Amino acid sequence: MKTIEIRELTREAFAPFGQVIEQDGAHNFPINAGKCTRFHDLANIETTGEKARPMISLLRGEPYPLPLELGMVERHPLGSQAFIPLSDATFLVVVAEETENGPAEPIAFRTAPGQGVNIGRNVWHGILTPLDKTSDFAVVDRGGEGVNLEEHFYQESFLVR
C-alpha cells in the first residue's frame, strides 16, 4: 500500500482543485456601521444542469483516526461543494487530478482551525473526514435534477498519514 503524506492546506497548493475558505489574507471591509467585518467572495459556487440551484446543508461528521486507508474518491459533475467547519476542529481534505485514465494519485491536506474548502465542479475528492472530534459543517453545494455523483474505486488503497 502506497503512503500519502498529509500536507499543509494553503491557497496556492489547493488552487488547482478549488478555493480555501478562510479569513486570513481575504479581501474584507467593514459593514453594519463598522460593527462587522465582511470577508468577501471567498469561493466560486458552481451549479449547472436542469433546475440547478445552490443549497445549504448542515453535516455532523464523526472523526477518523490516522493513518487512514483510502480506497475511493468521488466527484460532482454538476456543481462545486464547499465544506465550512462550524468549530475549530480540523479535517482531512483529499483531492486528485484528472488523468485520461481517471483520477490520479490522491493528495491529502489537513486544514488549520477555521479553514474550509470549496471543491470545484468535477474535481475528484475524498469524503468528509473530520480528524479530532465529532464536527459540524455548513455545506454549500448543488441541488436540482440529474445525477451529481460519480465514484472511483482505486485498484489498490492508499495509506494517508
Q: Which residues contact 161 (CB under 8 A, 6 or more apart)?
A: 3, 4, 5, 6, 66, 67, 68
Give the per-residue pLDDT at 84: 98
CA 21/CA 23 separation, integer angstroms: 7
Entry pTM? 0.96
What's the pLDDT tens digit per position in 39-92?
999 999 999 999 999 999 999 999 999 999 999 999 999 999 999 999 999 999
Residue 95: name the closest of 82, 109, 77 by CA. 109
